[in-house]
Amino acid sequence: MIVTLAGGVGGARMAAGLATISDGKIAVIVNTADDFEHLGLAISPDLDTVMYTLAGLENVEQGWGLCDETWSFMSALEGLGGETWFRLGDRDMATHVERSRMLAAGVSLASVTRHLCAALGVRADVLAMSDGKVRTVVQTSDGELAFQDYFVRRRCEPRLLSVRFAGADRAQALPEALARLAAPDLEAIVIAPSNPYVSVAPILAVPGYVAALDAREVPCVAVSPIVGGKAIKGPAAKMMTELGVDASVVGIAQHYAGLIDGLVIDEADRALVPSIERLGIRAHVCDAIMRDREGRARLAAETLGFARELGRRGDWRGPCRAS
Ligand code: FO1
């Protein structure tokens, strides 16, 4: 069993790669701090991206939503002068309507997710990070913005000053997720190449997850979302620069120092291996870009092979944790 922490496109693709090579024996703990209510519906973008990708139904070009999508609802809404900055496809709407109906009937987000995944034929365990309400709020040069306002409506244009996760302190980690992280058959924990600041950080902000990672008895490896100083997809590098962080694999290693044992980086960053290893984190160099389905499986196999090697060598507890 492998547990991965994920959000966004990079997380979904890594989860799909790991599911392919492990015959579906993975649990994916997914960020839900991007969730919001829109047009009266409960939208869970990262859960949906992970779920659709694991089902093989993702829209590859967009990076979110479903393949073979049509947009009649959006066109009709536009005709009525409604809000169209956040685009909901006709097929995708069914997910949001069904999720909203079930939540209104008192079903938990975790159970709704289980139901939707089963209906779409997803074999991996897709776990909402919490049933509690956690929301990413960003402080920007244009003031405080809710996450989707910043990310989609404003296209990450305002300068990012800080990020907080409203409600995280009161939320509880999903018990099933904590159980997976402590399971005797757990082989490795993988932090997917998701945005560390707005996809992985909200998961770690929920009480219980950092403690669970600290108590682990298996290696924890992260895959860098930054290659050659640029984000593979999305605004991670821009965000890091605006937050005053080195937008490189070393910045990623510094961010996760004390939490991870190893970092998977791309060939383009081979020269930075010594700077990563000085932080007490082992580095593994490979082609770290997932260009297609084969690429996902290849990177997942490289990542798992690296974690297993750390486990075999028994040198996976970094100096930060050992001291
Ligand atoms: N991202 C966009 O850039 N534009 C959209 O109109 C948009 C709609 C959308 C609808 C459903 C859904 O599940 C995701 C959607 N996303 C959209 C993606 C998403 O909001 C972000 O990429 C994530 O929150 C960041 O991980």
pLDDT of residue 317: 72
Q: Does the pLDDT at position 240 exceed 90? A: yes
pLDDT of residue 313: 80
pLDDT of residue 312: 86
Question: Between residues 313 and 174, which one has the greater pLDDT?
Answer: 174
Q: What is the percent of the chain where pLDDT is above 90?
A: 94
pLDDT of residue 6: 98
- C-alpha closest to that of 201 among 232, 157, 245: 245
CA–CA gap between residue 228 and residue 268 (Å, rounded):
6
The 8-class DSSP code of residue 123 comes to -
Question: Between residues 232 and 163, which one has the greater pLDDT?
Answer: 163
Kindly state if the Cβ of 219 falls inside 6 Å of ligand 1: no
pLDDT of residue 195: 97
Task: From 30, 58, 64, give the residue whose CB has the most ligand 1 atoms within 8 Å, as the site to mutate.
Answer: 64
Query: pLDDT-based confidence at 14, cuts 50/70/90?
Result: very high
Helix (H, G, I), strand (E, B) or coil at 134: coil
Q: Are 192 and 11 in contact (CB under 8 A)?
A: yes
Q: What is the percent of the chain where pLDDT is above 70?
A: 98
Identify the bridge partners of residue 144 per DSSP, sorted by sequence position.
139
Counting Cβ atoms within 10 Å, is residue 141 exposed (0-12), middle (13-18) or buried (19+)? exposed
Q: Does the pLDDT at position 322 exceed 70? A: no
Ligand 1 center–CA 214 separation, angstroms:
32
Query: pLDDT-based confidence at 175, cuts 50/70/90?
Result: very high
CA–CA gap between residue 283 and residue 276 (Å, rounded):
7
> What is the residue with the minimal CA distance to atom 20 of ligand 1?
45
pLDDT of residue 319: 39
Kindly state if the Cβ of 86 falls inside 6 Å of ligand 1: yes
pLDDT of residue 323: 39
Helix (H, G, I), strand (E, B) or coil at 273: helix
Kindly state if the Cβ of 64 falls inside 6 Å of ligand 1: yes
Ligand 1 center–CA 153 separation, angstroms:
10
CA–CA gap between residue 5 and residue 135 (Å, rounded):
17
Mean residue pLDDT across the chain: 96
Domain range 1-220, its CATH number among 3.30.420.40, 1.10.8.240, 3.40.50.150, 1.10.3720.10: 1.10.8.240
Q: Are 57 and 66 in contact (CB under 8 A)?
A: yes
Ligand 1 center–CA 148 separation, angstroms:
8
What is the DSSP pairing of strand 230-231 with strand 226-227?
Answer: antiparallel
pLDDT of residue 320: 44
Ligand 1 center–CA 63 separation, angstroms:
8
Quick: pLDDT tens for 176-197.
999 999 999 999 999 999 999 9
Ligand 1 center–CA 213 separation, angstroms:
29
Quick: pLDDT tens for 274-294.
999 999 999 999 999 999 999
| Domain definitions of the chain by residue range | 1-220
The answer to whether the pTM exceeds 0.85 is yes
| E strands in 192-305 | 220-223, 226-227, 230-231, 262-266, 282-286
Kindly state if the Cβ of 208 falls inside 6 Å of ligand 1: no
Average pLDDT of the residues in 239-262: 96
Average pLDDT of the residues in 259-270: 98
Most distant pair of Cα atoms in the chain: their distance: 63
Q: For the chain, give percent helix, strand, coil, nearest 5.
A: 45, 20, 35
Kindly state if the Cβ of 46 falls inside 6 Å of ligand 1: yes
CA–CA gap between residue 152 and residue 83 (Å, rounded):
13
Kindly state if the Cβ of 262 falls inside 6 Å of ligand 1: no
Per DSSP, the residues of 164-201 read EEETGGG----HHHHHHHT-TT--EEEE-SS-IIIIIH
Quick: pLDDT tens for 113-167.
999 999 999 999 999 999 999 999 999 999 999 999 999 999 999 999 999 999 9
